[in-house]
Amino acid sequence: MDERVRVVVADDQNISRGFFEMYVLSASQYRLLAGLRTAEEALRFADEQEIDLMILDIMMKSGIDGLSAAGVMKRRHPETKIILTTSASETSWADKARAIGVESFWYKEYDEHSLLDIMDRTMAGESVYPGESPRVPFGKAESTDLTARELDVLRELTASLTNEEIADRLHISVNTVKRHLQNIIEKTGFENRLDLAMNAKLLGLVVHDRDRMKQTANE
């Protein structure tokens, strides 16, 4: 009887998916069941076969995103452990992953631990999350120089919302939004809100839910 951990990986980027597959194939305790391009394929696979561990990228070019798919997985197959991964530095996703019961979270570009280490610890019963937020250069500052509320405002700004719309979504005043934006501009050295939004989006510093959730899962 094959007692190896049964693993499925899902990532729409060929290089990342190949990297994940290589890690799984190189470890004698794991068995790669499938390497898939979409979260929908991963959900369908899980409905048809038993999986011990799913490694799931968050941002997908089409279909349901990985974070939403993880929520579906936890409702349908709570026994399957999940590691969510991302190349973005968006910090809110880790909190959302915890809230839906995802076991572990791994930043591809910023985590000091290897994916294999995260896999081993996750299968040993640990819930492995980053100890601190990624430090990403952002203009004259670093991402960690911005407060949580400034990141909230910046995230809404990347969706091209007006100050009034940002204030409404975050339940703060328009003047507070203006103050946060001015503080971010002063810290980073960017000239205006357009530069802020464009650079934040390019770096993956913050990702608005509209950009992450391009489609809704069919459960």
Q: Would you kindly state where each structural domain of the chain is located, as residue ranges?
A: 5-133, 137-209
Domains 5-133 and 137-209 share a fold: no
- Type of residue numbered 163: N
Q: How far apart are CA 48 and CA 39, in angstroms?
A: 14
Say if residue 169's pLDDT is above 70.
yes
**Per-residue pLDDT averaged across 127-149, rounded?**
92
Q: What is the pLDDT of residues 57-82, one digit of tens each?
A: 999 988 899 999 999 999 999 999 99
For position 53, what pLDDT does the model report?
98
Task: Convert the pLDDT of each residue in 81-93 to its tens digit.
Answer: 999 999 999 989 9
Give percent above pLDDT 70 in the chain: 97
- pLDDT tens for residues 21-65? 998 999 999 999 999 999 999 999 999 999 999 999 999 988 899
Whose CA is closest to 52, among 97, 21, 17, 82?
A: 82
Q: Which position has the higher pLDDT, 110 or 171? A: 171
Write down the pLDDT at residue 189: 96
Looking at every residue in the chain, the average pLDDT score rounds to: 93
pLDDT at 1 > cutoff 70: no
- DSSP string for 50-109: --SEEEEES--SSSS-HHHHHHHHHHH-TTSEEEEEESS--SHHHHHHHHTT--EEEETT
- What is the topology classification, in CATH, of domain 137-209? Arc Repressor Mutant, subunit A (1.10.10)
- Give the fold, CATH level 3, of 5-133: Rossmann fold (3.40.50)
Looking at residue 144, the DSSP 8-state letter turns out to be G
Q: Which of 147, 160, 146, 148 is nearest to 193 (CA)?
A: 160
